[in-house]
């Protein structure tokens, strides 16, 4: 087996008994690093300390991780321009925070007869957000509502 000591120096092919003896002399553990290579690679190190440092590194990576939330904005087919602008500002703020946005367009009563108005509204949202967002799922009907999901670029 290939032996690497605690300083990183490669000792080349070494017998298992010699490697175990060196590990005992140094007060370290003999750890197999690459078992599938020919010959297998082993290293002299303090395994408890190695596991502790790996655990700390994983905790640090989890701390820096950003959880992507899905925010929902609800629209109606006959939304007024000012209300639309307010919702667009909220959507832009969500994208700046790195969140996804689910746009829900709900139809009530006789509005179901004019589904083309809803499609036009979602197309308008899509074109207005094209510079800072991409469409993750195209508008689709689910019962009395149309749903579209946007993600930040």
- Residue 1's pLDDT is 87
Q: What span, in angstroms and rounded, lies between the C-alpha atoms of 13 and 3?
A: 6
Which parts of the chain register pLDDT below 50?
A: none
Packing angle, helices 115-128 and 81-96, rounded to 10: 50
Residues of the chain with CATH 3.30.110.10: 70-152
Residue 142's DSSP bridge partners are 145
Topology of domain 2-64 in CATH is Ubiquitin-like (UB roll) (3.10.20)
Using CA atoms, how far apart are residues 13 and 45, in angstroms rounded to an integer?
A: 18
β-bridge mates for residue 140, sequence order: 147
Residue 90: what pLDDT?
Answer: 94
* CATH code that applies to domain 70-152: 3.30.110.10
CB 124 within 8 A of CB 85: no
pLDDT of 5: 87
Q: Where in the chain is the domain with CATH 3.10.20.80?
A: 2-64
């Amino acid at each position: 087996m290939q032996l690497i000591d605690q300083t990183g120096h490669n000792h080349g092919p070494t017998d298992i008994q010699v490697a175990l003896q060196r590990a005992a002399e140094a007060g370290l553990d003999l750890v197999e690093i690459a078992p599938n290579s020919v010959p297998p690679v082993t290293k002299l190190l303090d395994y408890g300390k190695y596991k502790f440092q790996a655990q700390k590194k994983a905790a640090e990576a989890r701390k820096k991780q950003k959880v992507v939330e899905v925010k929902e904005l609800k629209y109606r087919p006959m939304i007024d321009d000012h209300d639309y602008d307010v919702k667009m500002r909220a959507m832009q703020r969500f994208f700046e925070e790195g969140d996804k946005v689910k746009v829900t367009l709900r139809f009530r009563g006789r509005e179901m007869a004019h589904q083309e108005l809803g499609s036009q509204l979602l197309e308008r949202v899509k074109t207005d957000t094209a510079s800072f967002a991409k469409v993750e799922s195209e508008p689709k009907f689910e019962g009395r509502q149309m749903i579209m999901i946007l993600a930040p670029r």
